[in-house]
Amino acid sequence: MDDGVVQRVFEEGGRDYFQQQPSTSSSSPSILQSLPVHASFDHGYYLLVKSIQELREKKGGIVTVGIGGPSGSGKTSLAEKLASVIGCTLISMENYRVGVDEGNDLDSIDFDALVQNLQDLTEGKDTLIPMFDYQQKNRIGSKVIKGASSGVVIVDGTYALDARLRSLLDIRVAVVGGVHFSLISKVQYDIGDSCSLDSLIDSIFPLFRKHIEPDLHHAQIRINNRFVSSFREAIYKLKCRSEAPGACSISAFQGNEAQTDNFIEMYLRPPSATEEARINDWIKMRQSGIRYYLSIGDQRIVDKNFIIRPKAEFEVGRMTLGGLLDLGYSVVASYKRASTYVVYGNLSVSFETIDTLDETFMVLRGTNRKTVGAEALRMGINGPWITKSYLEMVLEKKGVPRLNTPPLFPNTPTTSNQESVIAAPRPIRTNPNLVMKLEDLSQPWTRSPTKSKMEPVLATWHFISSDPSHAGSSVIGSSSFRDTVKLVPMPDSYDFDRGLLLSVQAIQALLENKGLPVIVGIGGPSGSGKTSLAHKMANIVGCEVVSLESYFKSEQVKDFKYDDFSSLDLSLLSKNISDIRNGRRTKVPIFDLETGARSGFKELEVSEDCGVIIFEGVYALHPEIRKSLDLWIAVVGGVHSHLISRVQRDKSRVGCFMSQNDIMMTVFPMFQQHIEPHLVHAHLKIRNDFDPVLSPESSLFVLKSNKQVAYQDILKILDPAKFCSSAQNFIDMYLRLPGIPTNGQLTESDCIRVRICEGRFALLIREPLREGNFIIQPKVDFDISISTVAGLLNLGYQAVAYIEASAFIYQDGKILIEVDHLQDAPSPYLQIKGVDKEAVAAAGSTLKLDGSYTTKSYLQIILEKLPAVERSSSGIHTQQAARLQELVDFIQSQGSSSSSESSQCREVSPVEGIIEDMQSRIKRLERWQMINTVLWTFLMSALVGYSLYQRKRQ
């Protein structure tokens, strides 16, 4: 974990809390001081949560957090993610505006009111914070915040680290990057070397260098947000012409309150671009009242009837538009859009009128493609659908003026005497060994484009013919060319988000130039993100995903050889791909991981609706497979790289330094020998830097209790239409590197947890966050092979704990309830899991679990209940130590054996004996559960029948 980094945060400095309560021990961490690191968004979020939790334990009263940075850097997103995990009061500085002329101007912020509000809250008093309405363009009232209920207060705004606020803040966070960096990179690419980086910053963000950037260096946690736009959570749109909101709108708006909004949408063309320049390279600026929103390029995908857009719009200051115009950008198109819309669930229906087109359009929007399509059918709308953007329609319409340039905006901040009213902050006590003087600090972390290579417009796909007779042929539409056409590999590697966009564009290019079917292969190591990429692509394109795990051979899986190429039924895979290639129906296998055997087949057929098939798996780019595929995609990174980082960190803590290559050869021997060589041939190479272990985007909220709950009560809170249940058993094995400093107790944070479940190995690198009653754990399933576990043991990790359990799982798609029976626990534990924190809390309250929750891990629970006399030297039960050693011996024997070996006949191993014993136990539990269900159903039927009989008699 990052305890070491958090401890470095807690040195001297920050708000003067310890002036009143001096630390009595030099080893006791004090208040935050500047971190000499610049974290990613995910890592910064994680460090911030841990810092707030630790500071909250060490002091009484309110913990105050300031999150500052330029417009569009991602600070508001960070504040909202933080508020969703930690119960806190979120104060936006935008509500402290006193004018509407320029939101980024210091004079437009009422600092006196904000300082007074913070002082009231820190003293435990109730306070009134203002509320600003952007439609009315003025302050409309105030809201009461209870001082006693505000354990954490977050101030979010461009000037949140201003000198007048810093003395009131316990934790100061600076966020740079996001659209801020991307816009600078885009402009620098568009105008070339004619303007220095400093000149660009002064032009586009005139207040940044003078009034914002100096304050950022006072931050204790510095976040460089590289996340800009992503199709991970794409918006799916269906658009058609409509009369004025009428009959259709009545059914659409029924039971929902309609809202209205008006926009001015402007498109800015780069100064050196010609009239024929691609509109995808233009900058889009949307004005809504006094707010401005920026989109860099028209990154959208059109697939069949759907327009698919990323979440790529960010709010910026008005001066940004003026700065772009001063740099030579010109407004080449502008129109007004009036919208009347309703939102229900994850869907919205809007009626939008474009003034220059003099037409009204109905638009269905949602985050799920199938849901949007189903809603259109429900409303009885079947098109004709429009896939062109409003900009394209405006430019195509004859007689419509293309240019409606708004007046230029002043780009020079107003002069004032604000410098004289700035109150000097209280001195920040810093350790000279960690932080230099402010004037000596380097600047690049606030201006990322100086450190990284510019990434301009997205690359485009090109084709070549594998037949020499067609080399250089321009007749792309000919059937002979389609039979031999191949993609030209991209020379560079791309991040996950750009890779996702390029993947979809490659499929569209293949469909256009080669026709149906298009067969895609996605390969890479376990945990790299290939499965996530495949399903994101399928959501966008609307296609089938086939996992190579479906082709496992039962005998190989029983030997835990998931990463062995010989474990795949290659002959069946080749037949399926051949059938798909020739347009024949084919039967794809279904593999049951619980039984370790093939359970059946599902039929697959290529059609106009499903003309793309994606095969994803570790060996998807093996020469025997990729020769039959149209598009080869390699994905590396993800949890795979984080395990390497974890091993490097642990080794360095005990004074043993290992290179990444040394770790790769030990932990992932199959990858380096049999997988990595094939990835270099991919048409598209993707490096997945996304951290699913730390990210707030992939969190499950979990409530855990050992209170007994009846099976019938669980059924009542789940949707019967979507209800499903299952049973499984698992073994948790904890690995720790000897020599890691501990306090003499076995802690989960020092261990890597390996879970053996249904014959598979899954890895947990970091322990989850814990906040209040909730355990916030990553929503990630990182499967590894037995050879990876053996590699960790060979690196010196030792098995120090062992937990055996069985579980019943009930779910309905929104809530998952798991009842775990631990071998050494007297009563079962119930876990409620879901991505919606409120829904999980409501389910717990309905089951009357309030007051019974625990955030302890099963390792903690088992160790606390274990008498000291029954513990072995490693901290576990002496009887279990022998079984754990048997498991370790089995892993080392199987994991160290040659991957090419296939055990045709073998003896029953110790671990199989354990698993078979657990399986027999779980079957007995299932039988009892079935009997109880039948008896309960019979009893309820009898009661209902008797009740009806009594009513009839009356």
pLDDT, tens only, 724-760: 998 888 999 999 998 887 766 778 888 899 998 877 8
pLDDT at residue 426 is higher than 60: no
> pLDDT digit string (tens) for 855-873?
999 988 888 877 665 555 4
Q: How far apart are CA 99 and CA 137, in angstroms?
A: 8
What is the chain's length?
954
Contacts of 379 (CB under 8 A, 6+ apart): 248, 251, 252, 349, 364
Lowest mean pLDDT among 134-143, 174-183, 449-458, 688-697: 449-458
Lowest mean pLDDT among 328-337, 717-726, 769-778, 906-915: 906-915
pLDDT given at position 510: 93
Q: How far apart are CA 230 and CA 494, in angstroms?
A: 13
Relative to beta strand 631-637, strand 684-688 is parallel
Q: Which domains does the chain have, with CATH numbers?
A: 2-17+31-224 (3.40.50.300), 235-245+257-398 (2.40.320.10), 483-687 (3.40.50.300), 700-895 (2.40.320.10)
The whole-number average pLDDT for the span 582-588 is 92
In which order are the strands placed within the sheet that holds 783-784?
Answer: 769-771, 774-778, 699-705, 829-834, 816-822, 798-811, 724-736, 752-757, 760-764, 783-784
pLDDT given at position 620: 95
DSSP 224: E
Are 533 and 527 in contact by the 8 Å Cβ rule? The answer is no
The whole-number average pLDDT for the span 50-54 is 89
pLDDT given at position 149: 72
536, amino acid identity: K
∠ Cα 497 503 506 (to 5°): 145
Q: How far apart are CA 832 and CA 763, in angstroms?
A: 21
Count of alpha carbons within 13 angstroms of residue 484, beta-carbon side: 15
pLDDT given at position 79: 92
HEC states along 887-947? Answer: HHHHHHHHHCCCCCCCCCCCCCCHHHHHHHHHHHHHHHHHHHHHHHHHHHHHHHHHHHHHH
Q: Which of 93, 141, 140, 82 is nearest to 115 (CA)?
A: 93
The whole-number average pLDDT for the span 830-844 is 93
pLDDT given at position 118: 92
pLDDT confidence of 479, banded at 50, 70, 90?
A: very low
> pLDDT digit string (tens) for 195-242?
888 888 888 888 888 888 889 988 989 998 876 667 777 889 999 998
Q: Which of 468, 458, 548, 538 is nearest to 504 (CA)?
A: 538
In which order are the strands placed within the sheet that holds 89-92?
Answer: 38-39, 221-225, 171-177, 63-68, 152-156, 89-92
pLDDT given at position 823: 83
- Return the structure tokens found at 834: 């879901």
The whole-number average pLDDT for the span 500-519 is 91
pLDDT at residue 631 is higher than 90: yes
pLDDT given at position 427: 31
pLDDT given at position 773: 93
Q: What value does the CA radius of gyration of the chain take, rounded to a whole number of Å?
A: 30
pLDDT confidence of 671, banded at 50, 70, 90?
A: confident
pLDDT at residue 125 is higher than 70: yes
The whole-number average pLDDT for the span 78-105 is 80
Q: Which of 163, 23, 36 is nearest to 432 (CA)?
A: 36
DSSP 166: H
Q: How far apart are CA 707 and CA 852, in angstroms?
A: 7
pLDDT at residue 351 is higher than 90: yes
pLDDT at residue 899 is higher than 80: no
pLDDT confidence of 449, banded at 50, 70, 90?
A: low
652, amino acid identity: S
Are 305 and 227 in contact by the 8 Å Cβ rule? The answer is no
pLDDT at residue 416 is higher than 80: no
pLDDT confidence of 32, banded at 50, 70, 90?
A: very low
The whole-number average pLDDT for the span 442-470 is 64
pLDDT given at position 404: 46
The whole-number average pLDDT for the span 699-708 is 92
Work out the percent of the chain whose per-residue pLDDT is above 90: 26
Q: Work out the mean pLDDT of the chain and round it to a whole number.
A: 78
Lowest mean pLDDT among 256-260, 660-664, 688-692: 688-692
